[in-house]
Chain A
Amino acid sequence: MRILLLEDDVEIGTWVEDGLSKAGHVIDWVKDGHDAFLNATTRDYDVIVLDRMTPGLDGLSVLKALRSTKNAVPVLFLTALGSVEDRVEGLDAGGDDYLPKPFAFSELLARVSALGRRPSTNSSETISCLEVEKFQLNLLKQQCMRAGQPVPLNAKEFRLFETFIRNKGRVLTKNMLLEKVWDMNFDPTSSVVETHISRLRAKIEKPFDIELIRTIRGAGYILDD
C-alpha cells in the first residue's frame, strides 16, 4: 500500500516509517501540514496517517481541507491527546480511526491494514446476513446457524463473531476489539478479551473440531480468509 505519514517528531516518524516499510508498504513521510495536504491532493494514497499536532497546518485542519475536496482516502489519526472529546472531534471531521500515543507498533500496523483493505463502498452496512465456513449470522434476528442448526451465542459473543467475520483476513488487536465490541476505550487489566474469545471458541470451534480464530502473539487475533 502507498501510505502518507504526517509526523513532526523525527524519532517516532523514523520508527513508523521503518516499521511500515518492513511490512511491505511504501511510505511518504512529511513533517509539515501544508506538505501533507499538497501530497495528498497530488498523489493517490491507500491510507493517510496524520499526527494531530504538527507545524504549519495541524492534522485536523489537513483532514478537513482534504474532505472538503471530496477526497475520501481513509485517514488514521495519531495523537498525544487521547481523550474521548478529541477522538470524537477527529472522527466527526471525517477521520476513520484514532490511535492515541503511545502505541505499540503492532497496533498501528493492524489499524492501517484494516483501513487500507476496507471496501470502498459501504455495502457491508446493509447486509442482513454474514457467512463464514458453514456459519450463517442473521444480523436482523441476531441468530447464528451452522448447517441449519442454531448455535447459541449471547449478544456480546454474537457481536464478537460478527466483528471477526466483517474483518476477515485482518489482524484485530485487543484494543480494536474492546472498542468495536464492548465500546470500551480503556484497557482493563483483567483478561476481558481473552476470556470472551475463549468462550466464543468453545462454542464455534470445539463442537465442530475446526479452527477459525487464530491468535497472533503480541499482535492480536485474526479470522483467516
Chain B
Amino acid sequence: MTSSLKYLWQMSALRQAFALTLVFLGVLVATGFLADVSIRANLNQTIDNNLLTKFNQIKADLAKGVSYQSIAGSYQSESEHFSLDEFVSFKSDSGKIYGYPIPDVYGKTGFINLAPYYFHEEDEEETEEHAETETSWRVYIGTIPGGRLAIGSSLRARNQLLNTLPYAFLFSGGVMMFITLSGGLWFGWRSQRRLSKITRALDQIAAGDLTTRIAPSSCRDDLDILSVKLDETTQRLSTTLQQVRDLSVNIAHDLKTPLTRLRAQLEQTQEQNQKGVSDAEGVAGALKKTDDLLEVFDALLRISRVQSGERKKQFQHIQLADLIHNVAEIYQAVVEETGRSFSVEIEEAGSISGDQVLLVQALANLIENALRHTPKEAEVTLFVSGNTIGLRDNGPGIPEAYYPRVVEPMYRMEQSRSTPGAGLGLALVKAIANLHQAELVLSSPTLGKGLSIQFVFHPPISEQLSTN
C-alpha cells in the first residue's frame, strides 16, 4: 500500500497537478472571502437605502394627512403570511401602537438589527414551521409627526444569498480539483508508463544487454526524442563494444601463434643446451620472435594513442608537397633496392593542418604494405593532388568487398597470413586519417588491378568559407 502510494507520489505529472490544485484552491478561498465581504456590504447598503426611502415616503404620506391606520393596514394585509418581508410599526406620542407589534425599540434612532422575531396571534402556537421561517430584521427607527415610526425589512433573502455563496465556491472548487487531479493522474500514469519503459531498458543496458531498444512508436514529444537518442547511443555503444571484443579476441588469437612458436623455439634451445650444444641460432630466433611480439603491442599502443586524439593539440601547418618529398627521400632508395620502381606525382599540392610525424608514418606504412604485397617488378607511386595524398601500386590489389575490413585492427586476409605482420599497419593508417578528419579511400586504379589508398583531407573551415 505504502509502496503504491509512494509510486503515485513519484509521478511528476501527478505532483504537478497536485501543486496546481493547491494553488488554485488558495486562490479560490481568497476570492470567495473577498466576494463574500463585498457582496455583503453591497446588499446591506441596498437594504438600508430601501428602508430610508420607504421611511421618507411614509413620513410624506403622513404629512399629507394619511392616517396611521391606513398605512399600517396596507402592510397589515400582507402580515397574514409568515413570510412577511416588511413591516411598519407606529407608536404615537400617547403610547398607542399601530401596525406591527414589535419589542419596544421605538426609543432608538437610526438602523438597528433585530434578532429573529416572530409575530403571531396570541392564540397561535409557535410551531417548528414558524421557527424555520424566523428571520433577522433590519429596522430603521425615526420620528414622524405625532410619534415614532419603525420600518423593517427581512434579511432572509440576503442571508439565503450569502449562505449559498460558499457552496457555489465549494462546488466549483471541488469539480476543479477533481478534474485536475484525475487529469494529473491520467497524464502521470501515461508518462510514467513510458518512463518506466525507458527505465527498464536502461536497467537492461546497465546489466549488459546492449540489444535492448526503447523503440518509441511515434516521435511526438521530448520523451520520444529522448528515447530515440538513447537508442542511438546504445547502438553506437554496442558497435564500439563489438569492435573492442573482436579486437581483444583477435589479439588473443593472433598472439597465441607467435607465442607458441616462441615457446617451441625455447624448448628446442633448452634441449640443445641439455645435450651440451650451445644453440646461438635458436636464441637469436627466440629474440627475434619476442621483438615481433613487442612490435605488435607497440603498434596497438600507437593506434590507441592516435585514437585518443591527444596529438591534435600539436597540429601544424603542413605543405603536402613537402610531406611527399620527405617520404620519397626516405623510401625511394628502399623501394628501388627491392627491384620495384618508385615515382612521385605532384599536382597542385595543397596544405593542411596536421601532424607531420604521424603522416610520415602513415605513408611509410602504406609503402611497407606495398613492398610486402606486390611482386618484385611492381610500380609504386606516391602522389599528391590538391588535398589528396596517397600511394598507388599495380600489384594484385584486393577485392573491393574487403576494403572496409582490411582497415580494421588485426584483420588479415587469408592469403596474407603467410606474410609477416599483425594486420595493424592499415588500422594505424585509418586511425591517423580519422585524427585528421580525412577520408581514407581505397580504390583500384586500373579496373580490378592494383590498389590505391588515399587520404582525402577536408580543407580547413576558413578556406571553405572563403571559397563560398
Contacts and interface: CB of A to CB of B under 8 A. Distances in A.
A195 B301 contact: no
A195 B310 contact: no
B271 to A, nearest CB: 24
A131 B305 CA distance: 42
A182 B368 CA distance: 16
A191 B337 contact: yes
Contacts of B360: 183-184
B329 A102 contact: no
B298 A82 contact: yes
Contact of B357 (A154, A185, A188): A185
Contacts of B364: 184, 186, 188
Interface in B115-148: none
A102 B357 contact: no
Contacts of A186: 302, 361, 364
Interface string B294-319: 11001001100100001100000000
Interface in A182-199: 182-192, 195-196, 199
Contacts of A155: 329
A166 to B, nearest CB: 20
B291 to A, nearest CB: 8
A188 B311 CA distance: 21
Contacts of A196: 333-334
Tell which of A83, A155, A183 has the most Cβ of chain B within 10 Å. A83
B205 interface: no
B357 A183 contact: yes
B306 to A, nearest CB: 10
A73 B364 CA distance: 36
A65 B294 CA distance: 33
B460 interface: no
Contact of B334 (A183, A187, A190): A190
A85 B310 contact: yes
Nearest to B334: A195
Given A83-B305, A85-B310, A102-B294, A190 B361 contact: no
A156 interface: yes
Contact of B329 (A154, A185, A189, A190): A154
A189 B368 contact: yes
B209 to A, nearest CB: 36
| Majority secondary structure of chain B interface residues (helix, strand, loop or mixed) | helix
A84 interface: yes
B359 to A, nearest CB: 12
B368 A82 contact: no
A188 B333 contact: no
B311 A84 contact: yes
A135 B289 CA distance: 41
B20 interface: no
A192 B357 contact: no
A197 to B, nearest CB: 10
Contacts of A190: 331, 334, 367-368, 371
A192 B420 contact: no
A82 B299 CA distance: 11
Interface string A107-140: 0000000000000000000000000000000000
B112 interface: no
Contacts of B421: 189
Interface in B314-338: 329-331, 333-334, 337
A199 B332 CA distance: 11
A195 B336 CA distance: 10
A64 B294 CA distance: 31
A82 B371 CA distance: 27
Contacts of B368: 188-190
Interface of B: 294-295, 298, 301-302, 305, 310-311, 329-331, 333-334, 337, 357, 360-361, 364, 367-368, 371, 420-421
Closest 7 CB pairs of A and B: A195-B334, A195-B333, A195-B337, A156-B329, A83-B305, A190-B368, A199-B333
